[in-house]
Amino acid sequence: MKSMAAGRFKDVCLKSLDEVARTKTPLVITKRGRPVARLVPYVAPATRKTLAGSVLSEAGDPFGTGEAWDADAS
């Protein structure tokens, strides 16, 4: 993992971003020799296939049995 002083990073920020994106290698940014930040390449999250939004319409009572009950006639 490469490291770079914060002052130098400030001067070559855009070049550093391009290099990290191209090489996929993280870069540690230091201030007075101590690490303060890490620049890592972006990895797009994997898309999940779900059933959300797949129900087009609902018909009827999903919990009903179709039978008439005495309690229903109130």
User: Domain residue spans in the chain?
Assistant: 1-42
Residue 73 has what pLDDT?
60
Residue pair 32/7 in contact by the 8 Å Cβ criterion: no
- The stretch 26-35 carries a mean pLDDT of 96
Report the percent of the chain where pLDDT is more than 70: 96
- The stretch 40-58 carries a mean pLDDT of 82
Q: Look at residue 24 and tell me whether its pLDDT is greater than 60.
A: yes
What lies within 8 Å, CB to CB, of 2 at 6+ separation is 25, 26, 27, 28
- The stretch 41-65 carries a mean pLDDT of 80
Name the more confident of 32 and 59. 32
CATH fold, domain 1-42, is YefM-like fold (3.40.1620)
